[in-house]
Amino acid sequence: MSQRLSRRALAGLVLVPVVGCAAPPARAQRGGLASLPDFADLAERVLPAVVNIAVTSEQRGEIPPELRGTPFERYFRDRFRGRGQPVSGAGSGFIIDPSGLVVTNNHVIGNATRVVVALQNGQEYQARLVGVDDLTDLALLRVEARGALPAVPWGSSASLRVGNWVLAAGNPFGLGGSITSGIVSARGREIGAGPFDDFIQTDAPINPGNSGGPLFNTAGEVIGINTAIYSPSGASAGIGFAVPSDLARGVIDQLRSSGRVERGWLGVSVQDVGGPEDGPRRGPAAPAAPRGVLVAGVERGSPAARAGLRPGDQVVAINGDKVETSRALVRGIAAIAPGQTVRLSILREGRPSELPVQVGRRPAQPQG
């Protein structure tokens, strides 16, 4: 279930480079009162595929300290692009293919004029940008190496449970390869970063320079990309956020194949349908009304309008899968390739109906 942070909590949110995840108890410490995790074997296995990313770009004026290493640094750079002096930054990433494909955060790359990827063994490679996705803050780089590079596999974030150990790896404060450990503190966090917020929350220490680094499970699989922290100071306060691998993997696959991400779009404005207390009173024996998403408006000429969707309709399922929040509807449609036909289960004036809709291509600033 999605969990929102309060306005007060969001006021203290600072997005910074992160390290990311921790792993579970592998060995018990002898003589101790309790079993403690030992991450040495796991770290030795995965760290060769974790990279440091050095970025050079043009900047006029000094970036405010609280913005360094955050997505907001990119907007600061945009304002003065081409009118300043070279400045450098640092972040993290990880290799997903021995041929040299490197995943990181989009805000790490920014408007870089030069990107250098450094491996744990000291080897450095100049990288070229394959593609970026602003909505999930992900980027894909490629480096040309003479031989196969160490790589780490994707894992499934859907299998994560609150309390699982995770291991985070990255480049905090530009110090070089480092790891931190912690547990999964929560899932499905919404932090106001965008329409596809679905972050894994972890207490693994994450600091500036760690953005783009991997979050590992105890099997050494990447189950998240460390992207942000909640902190009043900009340093680790024990609350970090990672993009789930199940979301990131699809984005990276599209960037790899075409250099861009295409998402489905209906062209509607929607709002959540409240619980039973928001509707007319029912007798104690009356069945609960189905939850769903209320269509508040339909954009003229949109896929929804062409299919006959109307304001006041209530969407309860996509291709048979239940939909209970507006965010779930947006994510579900976005995951469908433009041009495909989707079957919406709706309630119109209380009566169930099925409506086929040919999904459109999501524009830069869509309504829904």
* Residues assigned a catalytic role: 107, 137, 211
d(CA 339, CA 133): 21
Task: Provide CB contacts within 8 A for 295, sequence distance 6+.
Answer: 268, 269, 270, 304, 309, 310, 311, 312, 313, 314, 315
Q: Which pair of tokens denotes residue 125?
A: 């490679």
d(CA 38, CA 182): 12
Cβ-contact 254, 247 below 8 angstroms: no
d(CA 69, CA 209): 7
d(CA 74, CA 97): 27
